[in-house]
Amino acid sequence: MDPGGYRGRTAIIAREEWRQVIRLVISNQRGGVAKTTSVANFARYLADRGKRVLVIDTDPQGSIGTVLGLKPAKYLHDFVVYNHLFKDCIVEACPGVDVLCGNRETVKTEEIGRAHV
Ligand SMILES: Nc1ncnc2c1ncn2[C@@H]1O[C@H](COP(=O)(O)OP(=O)(O)OP(=O)(O)O)[C@@H](O)[C@H]1O
Ligand SMILES: [Mg+2]
């Protein structure tokens, strides 16, 4: 039984669309060029159009959490390094937008990640 209740060929197409994930990376070595602002606005734009958005902040400044006024109990480092449950590490910023926040410990996350490459 497919999730949308479709049948035959339509069912296959519906399942593929259902699983479609688009990954976007907003990154620039240069500081102050509106990376954080773009992420926050783009996330809200997509959510308002019916997409489910997960923002992963890999910047140790943790600006996304600050800009959106979030108070996460756990951060990217807790998820990646300490294997805390994903659902405990994300915070809902608004309907359709979940955020996995970064903090200073993200520097350590990167170091540990590099050592395993
Ligand atoms: N379109 C815009 N018009 C005017 N100011 C803007 C615009 N977009 C962003 N800003 C301002 O520019 C500053 C830098 O933006 P932002 O923090 O998003 O950049 P960033 O690239 O994430 O910076 P950092 O490298 O420090 O992480 C902020 O004060 C933000 O409010
Ligand atoms: Mg930023």
**What pLDDT was estimated at residue 117?**
82
8-state DSSP, 50: T
Instruction: Provide the pLDDT for residue 4.
Output: 45
Asked if the model's pLDDT at residue 1 lies above 50, the reply is no
Between residues 53 and 14, the one the model is more confident about: 53
Domain boundaries, the chain: 10-115
- To which H or E segment does residue 85 belong? none
How much is the mean pLDDT over the chain?
Answer: 89
> Which residue among 25, 36, 41, 63 has the greatest number of ligand 1 atoms within 8 angstroms of its CB, and so is best to mutate?
36
Tell me the C-alpha distance between 100 and 74, whole Å: 8
Q: Which residues line ligand 1 (CB under 6 A)?
A: 31-37, 59, 61, 63
| pLDDT, position 20 | 84
For the domain with range 10-115, which CATH number is right: 3.40.50.300, 3.30.300.30, 3.40.710.10, 3.40.50.970?
A: 3.40.50.300
**Helix runs in the chain, H state only:** 8-19, 35-48, 63-67, 76-80, 86-89, 106-115
Q: Give the tens place of pLDDT for each residue, 54-79.
A: 999 999 999 999 999 999 999 999 99
> Is beta strand 53-56 parallel, antiparallel or unpaired with respect to 90-94?
unpaired
